[in-house]
Amino acid sequence: MKPTLSESLAAIEETGYVVLSDVVPMALFDDLEAALAPLLEASPTGRNDFEGERTKRIGALLAKGEVFQAVAANDGVLDLVEAVLGPNIQVSIIQAIQILPGENAQGLHTDDALYPLPHPHPPVVFNTMWAIDDFTEANGATRLIPGSHRWDEPLSRLERGDYEVVAAEMPRGSVLAWLGNLWHEGGANTTERPRLGITMNYNQAWIRQQENQYLALPPEVVEAFPERLQRLVGWDIHPPFIGNVDGRNPIKLLGRG
Ligand SMILES: O=C(O)CCC(=O)C(=O)O
């Protein structure tokens, strides 16, 4: 059942994550799977343990098919992202992740560790994982440490080992959402079938996007986006004027605003 916004926020405050059901029509997952099939076929596996030597990753998805726009700009998910990060958000990275049979667990990490900010800090990153396959503990469902978003001394907690890791099992069509400072990893896939999801990660518009959307998305591709998505991929300012172009909001270069 679809949680209300306040139920989702309460779960996030308590555990650092929430699984959203019934926020996205199931037909979209059929379209996403069909669009990803040829891209996955042509994709190599990762270059190291973190990317996953038995994992395929496909980035810059917004340049690779119109269907991916519905992932980046889903109203229900964006309501939650904005409730956590505030109104000035960007697409940080949108990437398909297919964990193949035999892959090991990725390694626990936080998504906002990329930014050299002192701890604690306000939320700067919020991530989602769209389950295109059923996610099970056995096939590599994302594993999370509930409550680790409140850890003051994360590394010493990890060294002591006094924590529990849970697999976010969820059926195809669900969306897992979690805070950027929550410890998590892609799980090991001990089954004989791949596990496919799309990670759709957002950031505060005053920090740098993880995936360089300005270079990933040629202007003629962005021109065809709806205005909200144009702003989300970075053609907007963070008030008062971070990201301006010659003193103007870049959305005006696209004939909007
Ligand atoms: O594939 C997953 O379930 C999580 C992947 C992840 O956390 C990452 O690549 O940073």
Cα 148–Cα 23–Cα 217 angle in degrees, nearest 5:
80
The verdict on residue 228 lying in a domain is no
CB 103 within 8 A of CB 194: no
CA of 113 to the centre of ligand 1 (A): 14
Question: Does the beta carbon of 189 sit less than 6 angstroms from any atom of ligand 1?
Answer: no
Is residue 237 in a domain? no
pLDDT score of 257: 80
In-domain check, residue 36: yes
- Ligand 1 proximity of 52 Cβ (cutoff 6 Å): no
Domain that residue 146 falls in: 5-217
Give this prediction's pTM: 0.97
Residue 245 lies in a domain: no
CATH number of the domain enclosing 192: 2.60.120.620
CA of 242 to the centre of ligand 1 (A): 30
Query: Is residue 100 assigned to a domain?
Result: yes
- Which atom of ligand 1 lies at the shortest distance from residue 111's CA? 10
d(CA 41, CA 102): 18
What digits encode the pLDDT tens for the residues 84-132? 999 999 999 999 999 999 999 999 999 999 999 988 899 999 999 999 9
Q: Which two tokens stand for residue 222?
A: 């962005």
pLDDT recorded at residue 156: 84
Number of domains in the chain: 1
Kindly report the three-state secondary structure assignment for every residue of the chain: CCCCHHHHHHHHHHHCEEEECCCCCHHHHHHHHHHHHHHHHCCCECCCCCCCCCEEEECCHHHCCHHHHHHHCCHHHHHHHHHHHCCCEEEEEEEEEEECCCCCCCCCECHHHHCCCCCCCCCCEEEEEEECCCECCCCCCCEECCCHHHCCCHHHHHHHCCCCCEECCECCCCEEEEECCCCEECCCCCCCCCEEEEEEEEEECCCCCCCCHHHHCCHHHHHCCCHHHHHHCCCCCECCCECCECCECHHHHHCCC
140 within some domain: yes
- At 154 the pLDDT is 81
**pLDDT mean for each 10 residues of the chain (257 residues):** 93 98 95 98 95 97 98 97 98 98 97 92 97 98 97 86 96 98 98 98 98 97 98 98 98 94
**CA distances to 150, 182, 194 from 105, in Å:** 23, 16, 14
pLDDT at position 120: 84
Testing ligand 1's pocket by substitution, the residue of 166, 181, 198, 199 carrying the most ligand atoms inside 8 A of its CB is 199
Task: Note whether 81 and 126 are within 8 A (CB).
Answer: yes
Residue 233, domain member (yes or no)? no
Q: Is 58 exposed, middle or buried (0-12, 13-18, 19+ CB in 10 A)?
A: middle
14 located within any domain: yes
CA-CA distance, 190 to 184, in Å (whole number)?
Answer: 18
Quote the CA–CA distance of 83 and 8 in Å, as a whole number.
10
